[in-house]
Amino acid sequence: MVDFRERIRINGQPIPEEYVIRFVEQERGFFEPLHPSFFELTTAMAFRYFADEKVDVAVIEVGLGGRLDCTNIIRPDVCIITNISFDHTQFLGDTLAKIAGEKAGIIKSGIPVVIGETTPETKSVFLEKTQATGAPIYFAEENDREDYPGIEYELKGLYQQKNARTVLTALPLLKEAGYRLDGQAVRSGFARVAELTGL
């Protein structure tokens, strides 16, 4: 990342600098007494920008964990948890099960959740959370559907293949939620990931 504005994009285009300046100037009086974190302020700016621009779909990435993350206030159409590793252990816990428990905090009642990767230690945490909330759960590792045969992945590496499988597991759930997902558009998106996302 070279520019702060790359964190908030619509159709690959970063949020305009003028919008960032105007948002900070207009909202300073509200935010300063609250002492928000950098991520909280950035999230609020993203939510406002997406609302002002009337986006059809927003992909919101959790900043840290999930359960207590400021992005957790929205009600999504689908939740995705890519993988669980020993990151931010001082905040999320010192075992994979504890970290999975924090990340499972984004799981909401009735909202489908896709899990990209699991271990026996983490899978049981996700199953317990979805049983408690009534959220349908889908494990990308177990997905053998071929909704989009012939997909070519632009990004290489095993973890990118796992990420792609996770996305392919989520797409039918978005279709069920009412999104039109043309097969050619999906293929084009996979072929142009770097261009579309800035990766």
Say yes or no: 89 and 50 in one domain.
Answer: no
CATH of the domain at 103: 3.40.1190.10
Q: Spell out the per-residue pLDDT of the chain, length 199, in tens.
A: 678 898 999 988 999 999 999 999 999 999 999 999 999 999 999 999 999 999 999 999 998 888 889 999 999 999 999 988 887 777 788 899 999 999 999 999 999 999 999 999 999 999 999 999 999 999 999 988 778 777 877 777 788 888 889 999 999 999 999 999 888 889 888 888 877 776 6
Say yes or no: 160 and 86 in one domain.
Answer: yes
Say yes or no: 113 and 171 in one domain.
Answer: yes
Say yes or no: 181 and 192 in one domain.
Answer: yes
| Measured CA distances, 193 to 37, 55, 155 (Å) | 30, 19, 7
Say yes or no: 13 and 66 in one domain.
Answer: no
Supply the pTM of this predicted model: 0.89
Say yes or no: 39 and 67 in one domain.
Answer: no
Say yes or no: 78 and 160 in one domain.
Answer: yes
Range of the domain at 161: 60-197
Give the domain-ending residue among 21, 40, 58: 58
